[in-house]
Structure 1
Amino acid sequence: MKNVMWKGQLQGNIQLDTIADKTNLYGLGPVEYLTGEILILDGKSYKSTVTSDTTMLVEETYNLKAPFFGYANISKWKEQNLPENIQTIQELEQYLDKETKASQRPFMFKLSGAVEQATIHIVNLPKGSKVSSPDQAHEGQINYKLENEQAEIVGFFSTEHKAIFTHHDTYLHMHLITADRKKMGHLDDVLFQKGAVKLYLPAE
């Protein structure tokens, strides 16, 4: 991520269809040249692109390149109910940090359930743009508000990768997709519905 934000290396370094083992594959990152978002959920790859300030296109495809991409093959998950007092990204980050002190890090996780509200974005860098700062990398980005959606979230947790794979002020990088597969993007803000979300952590 640092290379993308600060050095302007926007071209795709990772060709997604060359990931040989797609069984139980999970992953997330941006489309090359920061023209969309990518989410791989249980071996299916989704790309979202901006079509207007209020609409987007979500397609299922592996024909994609990404400048950076985090992925893992996870066949077994430990399922638990997300505690009712965990409703925001900040609360989730603190909870995961506390709960996984003894676990292998970094790790990928997923969430499934009801969100009362969420804000997701899709990067949408104008063609030919040069990037030398995070602000420029987010030029053209569109934010979308969601309300009362059933959704799945794939996330990456790392205390070591701030600004490399997570943003500089967080341990988390998450992409959300709605149950109807019509909306997907980078998760910026969320209010989970109390008692209506499952958390899945990799089973060692």
Structure 2
Amino acid sequence: MKNLLAILLILFSPFITTSQTVKNIGSMADMGKENFAPHIRLDTVTNKKHLFGLGPYGRMQGEISVWDGIPYFSAVNTNGEGVVSKNWQIEAPFFVYANVAKWQKHKVNLDCQNLQELQKNIENIAKEKEYNSEKPFVIKIKGKFDHLTTHIVMPRSSDVLGYQANKKQADYNFEQIEGEILVFYSQKHQGIYTHKDSFIHAHFLSKDKKTMGHIDKIKSNGIVEMSFSME
């Protein structure tokens, strides 16, 4: 009887279910209209176990990436260097997050020249492995990347700590850098936590935890570990 039940579940479950726990507060499109006012304090998130999340830090004072319950945030110092710190007592104008305890891992050849191709790689692998990509989910990509360009946003107003005149972000280029990419994927949240022309929002954290930022450009052609969030 148990074997029959298992067979029926397989037959009537065409997709592997990705995480349904993705939540968001605030929106990318509304930040400027609201003068980048914070909508959430991270220490108010009640369940921090296996928490993953992305968003801008403070009033556009940097980037936030929460990796498995560890809250990293990066900001630009007066020398133009990106400095990574850890603290729960930080705010964000928008934030997307999920508690993910289980991951389905795959060794894949990540062959991409830009973020659009990274998105296509994710979609192709999701289709091949029969994941349901119609609902939001989280991806981790661990490995060495041929080239990355990241940025850390900077304050737009002189009354905000960290402001530097005529500079809205600091850009950083890396070659053959090792670390992990955190991606939130959704086909229904453009302008909320992904840009209007994309289904993904991606941050990078280096292996030594000294570099973290929002990914603008990527080039990769090699074997990586790509993990999909699971319920």
**Alignment partner of 1:116 out of 138, 143, 146:** 146
The aligned amino acid for 1:21 is: N
**Alignment partner of 2:77 out of 51, 63, 71:** 51
Task: Report the CA distance between 1:87 and its aligned residue.
Answer: 5.3
Is 1:66 aligned to 2:96, yes or no? Answer: no
**Alignment partner of 1:168 out of 171, 175, 196:** 196
Structure 1: gaps (5+ residues)? 130-137
Find the residue that maps to 1:92 and give its secondary structure. helix
Maintained 8 Å contact 1:116/1:147: yes
How far, CA to CA, are the matches of 1:70 and 1:84 in structure 2?
A: 25
TM-score using structure 1 length: 0.87
How far, CA to CA, are the matches of 1:112 and 1:99 in structure 2?
A: 15
How many positions carry a matched residue from both structures? 195
Task: Report the CA distance between 1:165 and its aligned residue.
Answer: 0.9
Is 1:78 aligned to 2:104, yes or no? Answer: yes
The aligned amino acid for 2:173 is: K
Maintained 8 Å contact 1:24/1:75: yes
Change beyond 3 A, Cα 1:105–1:52: farther
How far, CA to CA, are the matches of 2:144 and 2:158 in structure 1?
A: 39
How far, CA to CA, are the matches of 2:199 and 2:88 in structure 1?
A: 27
**Alignment partner of 1:23 out of 29, 45, 49:** 49
Q: Which residue of 2 aligns with 1:142?
A: 170
Task: Report the CA distance between 1:77 and its aligned residue.
Answer: 0.3
Task: Report the CA distance between 1:91 and its aligned residue.
Answer: 1.8
Structure 2: gaps (5+ residues)? 1-27, 160-165
Aligned CA-pair RMSD: 2.1
Identical columns (%):
34
Q: Which residue of 2 aligns with 1:32?
A: 58
How far, CA to CA, are the matches of 1:149 and 1:52 in structure 2?
A: 24
Find the residue that maps to 1:3 and give its secondary structure. coil
TM-score using structure 2 length: 0.78
